[in-house]
C-alpha cells in the first residue's frame, strides 16, 4: 500500500521493508511521547517546595534491570528483522534472470542476455531479476524506490542487486549520487569536469541519470526482447543504421574485439582484416575460401574448422546471436579489406 511517506509496494521486499520502517517509526513515536510525559510529570512532581529538602534516593534493582534488559530484547529483535531483510536483499535466487547494468557519466545502460541494450529498464512481472552493476568512471547508485532496492555501481567492481516485481506498471529509477549541476543554474560552471560529452550538454550530473522502469507481462517482455535485437536507429537520420554499421557495433558489444583485431594483427584469434574471400587453411590440413557460409559456420560452430596457427578457444555464439546479427557481422567483415 502506498502511504504518505512511502511509494507503492511493487516488489516482494516492499512489505517487509515497510513493516520494519513503520515499526521503528512508531516505536520512536511511542518512546518520544512516553519520555516527554515522564519528564513533565517528574518536573512537576519533584518541583521545589518550601520546607522540603532533596535527599539522595535509594537504589532500585528491579527498575535498573528492567530498563537494561527490555531495550536489549527490543534491539536484538530489531537486529534480527534487519539482518533477515538484509540477507533476503543480498541473496538472489539461483534462477534469477540476469541483466547487466553499466553506469557512466551520465547514463545507465541495461544489457540483456540476448545482447540487446536499452535505456529503459524493462523487467518481467513475478520473476526474480538480478542486476549486475558496474561503472565506467565514478561511483553511481541505482535506486528503484517502488521495489525498495538500491545499490552502488563502483568502478572496477561488480555489485549485484535483485528484486521480484509483484505487479505490472511503470515507475522511476534514480541515481542517488546527487552531485552535479544543470545548465542555467547558479551551480553550473562551463568546463566543469562533471559536464557530459559534447552533444549532451543537458546531462551534467548524477541527478539527470533518471529513467523509467517498465514492469511487463511475459508476452510484453518477450516482444521487448525481440525489439532490442533490431538495428539501433541513427539519431541523425532517424532511421535504422546499415547492416555494416550494426555489425561494427556488435563486434564491440558481443566482445569479438577481445580476440579479433580489424587492423591485421593476430590476437587470440585471426584478424578480420582482408578475411573475406581469402583462402583459409585449417589445422587438419584442409582449405576453404572464407565466404559468407564459412563465416556463419565460424560463428555458430567455431570448432568445425580451426584456423591453422590458432587454438579452438572461440565460444559458439549459437543462441546468443540471431540470424540478422550474424548477417550484420558478415556485412561488416566484408568491408574490412
Residues 6+ positions from 186 with CB-CB distance below 8 Å: none
Note whether 286 binds ligand HEC by CB under 6 A: no
Closest CA to 143 of 103, 175, 166: 175
Q: Which does 140 bind (CB under 5 to 8 A by kind): ligand HEC, Cu ion, none?
A: Cu ion
Q: Which phi and psi (to 5°) does residue 29 adopt?
A: -60, -45
- Grid cell of 189 as nine digits: 560552471
Q: Which does 99 bind (CB under 5 to 8 A by kind): Cu ion, ligand HEC, none?
A: none
Closest separation between CB of residue 183 and Cu ion, Å? 17
Contacting ligand HEC within 213-232 (CB under 6 A): none
Cβ(121)–Cβ(174) below 8 Å: no
In a 10 Å sphere around its CB, with 0-12 CB exposed, 13-18 middle and 19+ buried, how is residue 63 labelled?
exposed
Name the residue nearer to ligand HEC (CB basis): 71 or 277.
277
Closest separation between CB of residue 228 and ligand HEC, Å? 17
Radius of gyration of the chain from its Cα atoms, rounded to whole angstroms: 30
> Contact letters (x/-) for Cu ion, 137-176, by CB under 5 A?
---x----------------------------------x-
Question: Please, how many CA atoms are within 13 Å of residue 311, restricted to the half-sphere of its CB?
Answer: 4
> Contact letters (x/-) for ligand HEC, 237-276, by CB under 6 A?
-----------------xxx-xxx-------xxx----x-
Q: Taking contact as CB under 5 A, which single stretch among the options 114-122, 136-144, 195-203, 220-228 is the one that binds Cu ion?
A: 136-144
> Coil, helix or strand for 175?
strand
Closest separation between CB of residue 170 and Cu ion, Å? 21
How crowded is residue 42: how many other Cβ atoms within 10 Å of its Cβ? 10
Q: Of the candidates 89, 177, 333, 336, which one interacts with Cu ion according to CB under 5 A?
A: 177
Closest CA to 15 of 4, 28, 27, 3: 3
Closest separation between CB of residue 174 and Cu ion, Å? 9
Note whether 142 binds ligand HEC by CB under 6 A: no
Question: Please, how many CA atoms are within 13 Å of residue 212, restricted to the half-sphere of its CB?
Answer: 9
Contacting Cu ion within 205-224 (CB under 5 A): 206, 209
> Contact letters (x/-) for ligand HEC, 312-331, by CB under 6 A?
xxx--x---x-------x--
| 121-124: strand order across its sheet | 121-124, 211-216, 169-175, 140-144, 149-153
- Grid cell of 57 as nine digits: 534516593
Q: Which does 206 bind (CB under 5 to 8 A by kind): Cu ion, ligand HEC, none?
A: Cu ion
Note whether 310 binds ligand HEC by CB under 6 A: yes
In a 10 Å sphere around its CB, with 0-12 CB exposed, 13-18 middle and 19+ buried, how is residue 294 labelled?
middle
Note whether 182 binds ligand HEC by CB under 6 A: no
- Give the span between the Cα atoms of 203 and 42, in whole angstroms: 58
Q: Which does 180 bind (CB under 5 to 8 A by kind): Cu ion, ligand HEC, none?
A: none
Q: Of the candidates 175, 307, 331, 336, which one interacts with ligand HEC according to CB under 6 A?
A: 307
For binding to ligand HEC (CB under 6 A), which residues are involved? 254-256, 258-260, 268-270, 275, 280, 290, 295, 298-299, 302-303, 305-307, 310-314, 317, 321, 329
Amino acid at each position: 500500500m502506498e502511504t504518505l511517506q512511502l511509494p507503492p509496494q511493487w516488489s516482494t521486499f516492499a512489505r517487509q521493508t515497510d513493516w520494519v520502517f513503520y515499526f521503528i517509526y512508531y516505536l520512536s513515536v511511542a518512546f518520544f511521547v512516553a519520555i516527554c510525559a515522564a519528564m513533565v510529570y517528574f518536573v512537576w512532581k519533584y518541583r521545589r517546595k518550601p520546607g522540603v529538602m532533596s535527599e539522595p534516593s535509594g537504589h532500585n534493582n528491579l527498575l535498573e534491570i528492567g530498563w537494561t534488559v527490555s531495550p536489549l530484547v527490543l534491539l536484538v529483535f530489531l537486529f534480527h528483522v534487519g539482518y533477515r531483510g538484509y540477507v533476503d536483499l543480498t541473496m538472489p535466487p539461483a534462477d534469477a534472470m540476469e541483466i547487466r547494468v553499466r553506469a557512466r557519466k551520465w547514463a545507465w545502460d541495461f544489457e540483456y542476455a540476448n545482447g540487446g541494450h536499452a535505456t529503459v529498464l524493462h523487467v518481467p512481472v513475478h520473476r526474480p531479476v538480478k542486476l549486475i552493476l558496474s561503472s565506467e568512471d565514478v561511483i553511481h547508485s541505482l535506486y528503484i524506490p517502488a521495489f525498495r532496492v538500491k545499490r552502488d555501481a563502483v568502478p572496477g567492481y561488480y555489485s549485484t542487486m535483485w528484486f521480484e516485481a509483484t505487479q505490472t506498471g511503470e515507475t522511476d529509477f534514480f541515481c542517488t549520487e546527487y552531485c552535479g549541476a544543470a545548465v542555467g543554474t547558479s551551480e553550473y560552471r562551463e568546463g566543469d569536469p562533471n559536464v557530459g560529452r559534447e552533444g549532451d550538454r543537458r546531462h551534467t550530473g548524477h541527478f539527470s541519470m533518471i529513467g523509467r522502469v517498465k514492469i511487463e507481462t511475459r508476452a510484453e517482455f518477450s516482444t521487448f526482447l525481440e525489439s532490442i535485437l533490431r538495428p539501433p536507429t541513427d539519431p541523425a537520420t532517424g532511421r535504422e543504421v546499415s547492416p555494416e554499421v550494426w555489425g561494427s557495433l556488435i563486434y564491440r558489444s558481443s566482445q569479438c574485439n577481445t580476440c579479433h583485431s580489424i587492423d591485421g594483427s593476430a590476437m587470440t584469434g585471426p584478424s578480420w582484416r582482408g578475411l573475406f574471400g581469402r583462402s583459409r587453411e585449417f589445422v587438419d590440413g584442409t582449405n576453404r575460401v572464407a565466404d559468407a557460409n564459412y563465416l556463419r559456420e565460424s560463428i555458430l560452430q567455431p570448432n568445425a574448422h580451426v584456423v591453422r596457427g590458432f587454438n579452438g578457444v572461440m565460444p559458439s555464439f549459437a543462441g546468443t546471436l540471431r540470424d540478422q546479427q550474424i548477417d550484420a557481422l558478415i556485412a561488416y567483415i566484408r568491408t574490412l579489406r
